[in-house]
Amino acid sequence: MARGVNKVILVGNLGNDPEVKYTQGGMAITTLSLATTSVRKDKDGQQIEKTEWHRVKLFGKLGEIAGEYLKKGRQVYIEGSIRYDKFTGQDGVEKYFTDIVADEMQMLGGGGEGGGGGGGFRGSDRSSSSAPRQEAPRREAPPAKSNDFGDDFADDDIPF
């Protein structure tokens, strides 16, 4: 059930390796930095390139797969929705973030280093994968008790 449609479709290249973190509950939260470049002509007919860097979040199993298979430079298809967040820093200054929350991911192209061929994945249920597989995430160990989010981190209260 919903009221409205909030859909984003991106095809772009990763500017960096994925960052994988875990909630206290063991759910992966993976962040991608994804570039899409568009070209338009200015009034003089000159081509102007503009690159947008999207911050893409993948949760649960989808985040684990992204952390495992994606690499800097890799081309990827993302389907998801836009989420705007406001976060008040310790200095009292409000900061705004815009994330693309991924529902689906498709690795594109044949490979490169991050490779192994393409394939698609849906983020239909986040909770079914709360136990990260041993072999998956390289960049941060699955949490034992505490983590970056502090002890009071809860699933419905993600501050970034």
Partner DNA sequence: TTTT
Binding residues for its own copies (CB under 8 A): 1-13, 35-39, 42-43, 47-48, 52-54, 75, 77, 79, 81-84, 93, 95-98, 100, 106, 108-110, 112, 118-122, 124, 127, 155-156
Query: If you compute the radius of gyration of the chain from its CA atoms, what whole number of angstroms results?
Result: 17
Q: Which is nearer to DNA, 53 or 97 (CB)?
A: 53
Question: Roughly how many angstroms between the first and final C-alpha of the chain, as a whole number?
Answer: 25
- Within positions 65 to 124, which residues make up the interface with DNA, using CB under 7 A? 72-73, 75, 110, 116-119
Among 6, 16, 81, 98, binds DNA (CB under 7 A): 16
**Residues 79, 68: Cα–Cα separation, whole Å:** 19
Q: Which is nearer to DNA, 3 or 43 (CB)?
A: 3
Among 8, 15, 24, 140, binds DNA (CB under 7 A): 15
Q: Which is nearer to its own copies, 4 or 150 (CB)?
A: 4
40 membership: H or E segment, kind and range = strand 28-41
Q: Which two tokens stand for residue 93?
A: 């200054």
Q: Which is nearer to its own copies, 26 or 118 (CB)?
A: 118
Residues 130/27, Cβ–Cβ less than 8 Å: yes
**Which of 38, 122, 43 has its CA nearest to residue 77?**
122
Size of the site for DNA (CB under 7 A): 20
| Cross-strand bridge partners of residue 36 | 52
The one of its own copies, DNA, none whose footprint includes residue 159, by CB under 5 to 8 A per kind, is: none
Q: Which amino acid is at 87?
A: F
Instruction: Give yes or no for residue 142 binding DNA (CB under 7 A).
Output: no
Q: Which two tokens stand for residue 78?
A: 């993302």
